[in-house]
A and B are shown apart, each in its own frame.
Chain A
Amino acid sequence: MSGPVSSAYLDHSASTLMRPEAFEAMVPWLTDRPANPSGAHRLAREARRAIDDAREIMAVALGAQPGEIVFTSGGTEADNLAVFGVHDRRGGVVVCAATEHHAVLEPTQSAGGRVVAVDGRGVIDLAALAGALDDEVTLVSVMVANNEVGTVQPMAEVVEIVRRLAPAATIHSDAVQALTWLDVAALTAGADLVSVSAHKFGGPKGVGALVVRDGTALAARQIGGGQERERRSGTQNVGGIVAMAVAAEAAVATRSATVERVARLRDRLADGLLAAIPGAIETGISAGDRSQRIAGTCHLCLADVESEALLFLLEEAGISASAAASCASGAMEPSHVLAAMGIPRDLAFGSLRLTLGWSSTDADVDLALAVIPAAAAQLRAYATPAEVSP
């Protein structure tokens, strides 16, 4: 089928556009600067210095000390290092929220941990969290902002409860979706471990970081040359790290302006779709209160519409969007996040995640508003009762 004339990228939570300044900063390290930062010559020292500079920038962006920044291959490695790193060292019980990313949820479950319920908005049930805490708990992991629906967790309250009821527990927070939208340094000030991933805020894929506060007991998962102060081995991705720091700096510097601008776009998008699609539900939002959401996320559930089919029609019309996380084969799987929020399975099959980013424009929203209601109507015309309520 021929490609559409106009297009709108509405999948920034999956991966956002690289910021031009981050790309510029990365290129020299991919071309004429080959050295390994652990080397002994001048070129190596240049690479080393670039990483050291980047570490300082990341520390400022994340409210940490430079020595507390551990560079990783991305968010999943950072999350795995946090959960397994603490569990391997200290044993005990890991606790996480039901809506955590699989990169936290799977390690938690594999360590035999406890999963804490969330409410209909996706906010962690603080009473349930309190109930899950005892002296055996060594790690509590609660994300700053959710990757599917964008729910922001009350980190200060989480930290207060954990410190009170499980004072020996380490606190991890997955901030992978947060840096573009939220003051991560402030929100995670009480956490011991914080994960970020560069490609979610304008850096490249394949690089991330874990903040490991001084004094946090953590076993390395990837061992070898000990490059990241024995907490993570492997030659650093110099260009990626440099670009990540530039992107982080830009994200933090432009954050308030981005949030203000994109929230307006998102509200126009969400309100427009809710008005134009009969029966559309803004997932986990009641009375239009989006205060618990990051500014870029619009998540809808459309009864009698199947996401897989809808996404194809959107793609044909130039819109890149998503429903939920994808499995290895590319097929859509029912979302554990929506299930945890109490969304019925058949409604969850009609989920639509539209995520805006730092580069989103009014034209993106215009196209989405022009295309999505008609696509939903087309599919509803074909929906059979069996599909509506299996």
Chain B
Amino acid sequence: MAMSGGVDSSVAAALLLEGGHDVTGVTMKLWGGASDQGCCSVADVDDARRVAQELDIQHLVFNFGDDFTTHVVDPYVAAHAAGATPNPCIECNRHLKFDRLVRRADSLGFDAIATGHHARVVTGPDGTHRIARGADAAKDQSYVLHMLGADLLDRVLLPVGTMTKDAVRAHATRLGLRTAAKPDSQDVCFITATGGRRTFLGERIALHPGRLVDTSGVDVGRVDAVELVTIGQRKGLGLAGDAAPRYAVAVDARAGVVTVGSAADLLAIDVVVGDLAWSGKAPPAGVELLAQTSAHGVARPMVLTSATDDGTVTGRWSEGPQRRVAPGQSVAFYDGDVVLGGGIAR
């Protein structure tokens, strides 16, 4: 049972125990640098340990700091340096919780791994397991688990996925767990609230000033760090006084140019998606499915082309152009509430 020190994994551990499982709690120590939230701080490890003690289960701390740096932090920094907008939580799920930790659990003889994610593991028509949306639509985390394959899902348990967040908190309160009222973690665990992204990235890569140009190439201003601009961003571009709102619609980090445009310029009909991972077989080209492009975004219909030689697919929005997806962001594909897979926008 991966225990972050939050209420969801606390209750998940309790539910497993109630279900008769033999449970060992594990907290991953991932980040050695400054951290004021998330699963890396000593205070959160303390909470996880205390909950495990209250539940009378073993609690272990595994230091996966090197793996976290290699698979999450370094790619995060590199992506920003290239002007992309990475999602490190997804890479942490992909490489840490659902790979490194699973392999560790396998080697120690455990037959399943559980987390406190708000998502469900369901059985598809072909008998294989898939991720599906959690019962609490507002807290659904299926998007960040889209990369989990059917083989792995055979031994993944998501005990709180069938509950609403309120029900989770109520259960924690009923059990007297210390984490019952603990606020949800927000944002990226290795970025401090005080320093922010700018400080974190500024200590690791050179941040370059860049030109702001409009869609016809005319200079309209400057930004002090191209690497910090995200497509769709409106604030912080120094263009607040303009008559119509203007958004970053393209970032060329190498050239140091950010293109800004109107809300209409931000729209695109196609999304190119690479680094694809499917739960089972890739869906056939031409079939309409649903695509979600951010953690709490709305899933909209999309039709995929067949995969190209470089391993990407192009998705075309069925309802017409949608807000552009920043390169680096994950795109999760659904059939109704069931995750089919996903990838990373190019």
On A, residues with C-beta under 8 Å from B are 1, 306, 308-309, 312-313, 327-333, 378-379, 381-384, 387, 390
Closest to B106 in A: A382
Partner of B107, one of A1, A330, A331, A382: A382
Question: Which residues from B are CB-within-8-Å of A383?
Answer: 107
On B, residues with C-beta under 8 Å from A are 22, 24, 27, 29, 32, 42, 45-46, 49, 58, 60-63, 65-66, 70, 103-104, 106-109
Question: Which residues from B are CB-within-8-Å of A329?
Answer: 27, 29, 42, 45-46, 61
Interchain residue pairs with CB less than 8 A apart (30): A1-B22, A306-B104, A308-B62, A308-B63, A309-B107, A309-B108, A312-B60, A312-B108, A313-B108, A328-B42, A329-B29, A329-B42, A330-B45, A330-B61, A331-B29, A331-B45, A331-B61, A331-B62, A331-B65, A333-B63, A378-B109, A379-B107, A381-B107, A382-B103, A382-B106, A382-B107, A383-B107, A384-B103, A387-B103, A390-B66
Top 10 closest pairs, chain A to chain B, by CB: A331-B29, A382-B107, A331-B63, A329-B45, A330-B61, A331-B61, A329-B42, A332-B63, A328-B42, A379-B107
On whether the beta carbons of B104 and A309 are closer than 8 Å, the reply is yes
B50 to chain A, nearest CB (A): 12
CA distance A312 to B108 in the complex (A): 8
CA distance A330 to B46 in the complex (A): 9
Question: Which residues from A are CB-within-8-Å of B104?
Answer: 306, 308-309
A135 to chain B, nearest CB (A): 38
- Give 18 A-B pairs besides A378-B107, A382-B103 with Cβ atoms closer than 8 angstroms: A1-B22, A306-B104, A308-B63, A309-B107, A309-B108, A312-B60, A327-B29, A329-B29, A329-B45, A329-B61, A331-B29, A331-B45, A331-B63, A331-B65, A332-B61, A332-B63, A379-B107, A390-B70
Question: Which residues from A are CB-within-8-Å of B66?
Answer: 390
Question: Which residues from B are CB-within-8-Å of A327?
Answer: 29
A325 to chain B, nearest CB (A): 12
- Scoring B24, B42, B103, B108 by chain A CB atoms within 10 A of each residue's CB, the highest score goes to B108
Question: Which residues from A are CB-within-8-Å of B46?
Answer: 329
CA distance A331 to B32 in the complex (A): 10
B243 to chain A, nearest CB (A): 53
Closest to B44 in A: A329
Question: Which residues from B are CB-within-8-Å of A384?
Answer: 103
CA distance A47 to B29 in the complex (A): 46
On whether the beta carbons of A1 and B58 are closer than 8 Å, the reply is yes
- Scoring A1, A312, A313, A379 by chain B CB atoms within 10 A of each residue's CB, the highest score goes to A312
Closest to B23 in A: A1
Closest to B60 in A: A312
A376 to chain B, nearest CB (A): 11
Question: Which residues from B are CB-within-8-Å of A309?
Answer: 104, 107-108
CA distance A327 to B32 in the complex (A): 10
- Scoring A328, A331, A378, A381 by chain B CB atoms within 10 A of each residue's CB, the highest score goes to A331
- Scoring A327, A330, A383 by chain B CB atoms within 10 A of each residue's CB, the highest score goes to A330
B20 to chain A, nearest CB (A): 14
CA distance A366 to B55 in the complex (A): 34
CA distance A382 to B107 in the complex (A): 6
CA distance A306 to B65 in the complex (A): 14
CA distance A207 to B62 in the complex (A): 31
Question: Which residues from A are CB-within-8-Å of B70?
Answer: 390
Question: Which residues from A are CB-within-8-Å of B58?
Answer: 1
A202 to chain B, nearest CB (A): 29
- Scoring B24, B32, B106, B107 by chain A CB atoms within 10 A of each residue's CB, the highest score goes to B107
A388 to chain B, nearest CB (A): 13
CA distance A330 to B27 in the complex (A): 10
CA distance A329 to B22 in the complex (A): 24
CA distance A330 to B62 in the complex (A): 8
Closest to A2 in B: B22
CA distance A1 to B66 in the complex (A): 29
CA distance A390 to B42 in the complex (A): 26
- Scoring A308, A329, A333 by chain B CB atoms within 10 A of each residue's CB, the highest score goes to A329
Question: Which residues from B are CB-within-8-Å of A387?
Answer: 103
A106 to chain B, nearest CB (A): 16
CA distance A333 to B32 in the complex (A): 10
Question: Which residues from B are CB-within-8-Å of A333?
Answer: 32, 63
B96 to chain A, nearest CB (A): 13
CA distance A333 to B65 in the complex (A): 9
- Scoring A306, A308, A327 by chain B CB atoms within 10 A of each residue's CB, the highest score goes to A308
CA distance A55 to B62 in the complex (A): 43
CA distance A329 to B29 in the complex (A): 8
Closest to B46 in A: A329
On whether the beta carbons of A330 and B49 are closer than 8 Å, the reply is yes
Question: Which residues from B are CB-within-8-Å of A390?
Answer: 66, 70
CA distance A381 to B106 in the complex (A): 10
CA distance A331 to B63 in the complex (A): 5
A382 to chain B, nearest CB (A): 4
CA distance A182 to B108 in the complex (A): 39
Closest to A313 in B: B108
B35 to chain A, nearest CB (A): 11
CA distance A306 to B49 in the complex (A): 22
B296 to chain A, nearest CB (A): 30
A263 to chain B, nearest CB (A): 33
B106 to chain A, nearest CB (A): 6
CA distance A381 to B107 in the complex (A): 8
Question: Which residues from A are CB-within-8-Å of B106?
Answer: 382
CA distance A379 to B103 in the complex (A): 10
B65 to chain A, nearest CB (A): 8
Question: Which residues from A are CB-within-8-Å of B103?
Answer: 382, 384, 387
On whether the beta carbons of A1 and B24 are closer than 8 Å, the reply is yes
Closest to A378 in B: B107
